Chain A
Amino acid sequence: MKHFSGFNRGLWLNNPVLALNLGLCPVLAVSTSVYNAFWMSMVAVFVLTTSCISVSIIRNIIPWNVRIPVFMAVIVTVMTVTEMALNAYRPDIYGLLGIYLPILAVNCLILGKVEEHASRNGVIASGIDSLGTGLGFSLVLIILASLREISGTNSILGHMLIEGFEPASVMIMAPGGFIILGLMLWLYNTLIRGLKNTDSRTRGEDIP
């Protein structure tokens, strides 16, 4: 149950994109289609979880002063191996994700989670927490991609939705991504975190 709260926190309450505004670069860049978003999500979940578990295993032998370079080495290794595996076995996906795949290694979401949680907790706790965070990231990415694909192309996964409907192609461009992400952030902060919390923040109080 204790671990489940960590999972839930990463998935929803402290969602990396909506609550912490982390990892926005791949979210905006790859969310032009659900297909791309799905594969980026899978890679992010795998890299995040594997990096967190690896760091959690070696955390007790890493001196505090050199922890960041060591964590970076772990993340980059996991990312590079994942990238090579995709290039070897799914070159089509590797091509689709392009430059956003390798730069996931320097994503603040992954380094932040490794430093903040995995370096201070056990394997199971950090594994579950990172899985929740990764799935939270994936959830937002796929919802955003669905909204952009539907409104921007009038289709989802290549299937046309409404005959004769003229899609707003701006939605699959960068401004559309910002508009929809902005609306999602507003909805999340208003409906999920509550107006009360927003008021507390403006008064400089801690959000419960």
Chain B
Amino acid sequence: MKIFFKQSFILIVSIASAIVIVFYTEKFAQPRFVQNETLKVKDIIARVFPGYNFSDEASVQLDTKKVRYWPGITDTDGMQKKLFVFMSVIPGYYYNLKLIAGIDEENRITGICLLINPGDLSSCADNRDAIGNTPDMWIVKERGVPDRGLSDPEFLAQFKRIDYKKAIRIEITGSGKRFPEGGTTALNLINTYRENISAVKIIAGDLKDFLNAVSVIMSTSQENAMEVK
């Protein structure tokens, strides 16, 4: 019996020590995680939505949840245009899928970026329609691992056809190649994620929340402007 208690004691002490070490390491490293995450997100946002100056992260409270966003502004020919970039995280077994979407003042989705962490395989697309070019055309801007500039052909091969919204199309360009999967819908990108069926629903829901959030932001800013007057 004494041996049993001794063994149990040693085992408990070992596991407790491991938990304490991991807990304090995580606590120590947490600011760096947040800093890395912020830099990465800002870098991605700046690349997906070039020409905009983005302010710090803000949030808006909807009926059911809080939504994070980065307000951006651009000045072209004396005309100021606003853009709101939203981000949501869909946790997976090992990889997290991040959805980053830009929505303009007129409630149009101008760009989508899907980022798979860790590993940061990404796929980004912007909408020429919102920029004022070919209607209903989405351009995939980058794929692969952004930090090292590696491309991953298998990543693209995973794209499958899901008709979420036929009005949104993607023309796949880049590196002088035109891939046979060109013309798939913007939200087909989510097939890069293993749990694609549930991800489709979640992303579709998130995009609707983002659009609602822009309406809330715009109405709030108009109310504020009225009060100032």
CA distance A95 to B96 in the complex (A): 12
Asked whether A1 is an interface residue with its Cβ less than 8 Å from the other chain, the reply is: no
Asked whether B145 is an interface residue with its Cβ less than 8 Å from the other chain, the reply is: yes
Nearest residue in B to A81 (C-beta to C-beta)?
B25
Asked if A88 and B36 sit within 8 Å, CB to CB, the answer is yes
Asked if B15 and A81 sit within 8 Å, CB to CB, the answer is no
Contact count A vs B, C-beta below 8 Å: 64
CA distance A76 to B25 in the complex (A): 13
Asked if B14 and A70 sit within 8 Å, CB to CB, the answer is yes
Interface segment among B5-13, B79-87, B135-143, B214-222: the answer is: B5-13
Residue in contact with A62 in the complex, picked from B10, B36, B40, B120, CB distance below 8 Å: B10
Residues from chain A with a CB closer than 8 A to the CB of B6 are: 63
Asked whether B227 is an interface residue with its Cβ less than 8 Å from the other chain, the reply is: no
Nearest residue in B to A94 (C-beta to C-beta)?
B118
Residues from chain B with a CB closer than 8 A to the CB of A85 are: 25, 29
Residue in contact with A73 in the complex, picked from B18, B40, B119, B120, CB distance below 8 Å: B18
Residue in contact with A91 in the complex, picked from B11, B26, B36, B94, CB distance below 8 Å: B36
Residues from chain B with a CB closer than 8 A to the CB of A99 are: 94
CA distance A61 to B14 in the complex (A): 11
CA distance A85 to B33 in the complex (A): 10
Nearest residue in B to A71 (C-beta to C-beta)?
B14
Asked if A69 and B14 sit within 8 Å, CB to CB, the answer is yes
CA distance A77 to B22 in the complex (A): 7
What 6 A-B pairs are tightest by C-beta distance, nearest first? A88-B32, A88-B29, A77-B18, A73-B18, A70-B14, A92-B147
Spell out B's residues near A (CB within 8 Å). 3, 6-7, 10-11, 14-15, 17-18, 21-22, 25-26, 29, 32-33, 36, 40, 94, 117-120, 145, 147-148
Spell out A's residues near B (CB within 8 Å). 61-63, 65-66, 69-70, 73-74, 76-77, 80-81, 84-85, 87-89, 91-92, 94-96, 98-99
